[in-house]
Amino acid sequence: MNFTNVTAEAKANIYFDGKVISHSIIMPDGSKKTLGVILPGSYHFGTEAAERMDIVGGSCEVVLDGSEDRQSIESDSFFDVPANSGFTVEVTGDACHYVCSFLS
């Protein structure tokens, strides 16, 4: 996945003692995405806006808030998270690389 004509924010967003790190990019239309890496572990994230999480490297398992279903997400796949919700992501092997798009 490549992006052209974007503005990249150099300062990283660092979560969970450095085990989840992302950088924000601003698209030409003003929308925002984050590009990041999740190191092995289990982490819970809350959402305000709806999100699409594209997994671009590695894999993870995801449980959306309000569900008991565990989804296995491989590289070149994605999952959606509703607004005002959250999800738990677990990485057990190699680092998981993602692109998060904020949906309107």
Residue 47 covered by a domain? yes
Closest by CA to 72, choosing from 62, 82, 64, 57, is 62
Residue 58 covered by a domain? yes
CA 102 and chain centroid, separation? 10
Residue 77 covered by a domain? yes
Residue 2 covered by a domain? no
For residue 10, the model assigns a pLDDT of 95
pLDDT in tens, 1-35: 889 999 999 999 999 999 999 999 999 999 999 99
In 3-state terms, what secondary structure has residue 81? strand
For the cut 90, the answer to whether the pLDDT of residue 43 exceeds it is yes
For residue 67, the model assigns a pLDDT of 94
pTM above 0.85, yes or no: yes
CA distance 64 to 80: 9
Residue 1 covered by a domain? no
Residue 88 covered by a domain? yes
Domain count, the chain: 1
CA distance 58 to 87: 18
For residue 31, the model assigns a pLDDT of 93
Q: Is-contact 73 58, C-beta < 8 A? A: no
Q: Give the domain range for residue 28.
A: 7-103
The 8-class DSSP code of residue 89 comes to: E
Question: 64: domain CATH number?
Answer: 2.60.120.10
For the cut 80, the answer to whether the pLDDT of residue 104 exceeds it is no
Residue 60 covered by a domain? yes
pLDDT in tens, 49-103: 999 999 999 999 999 999 999 999 999 999 999 999 999 999 998 999 999 999 8
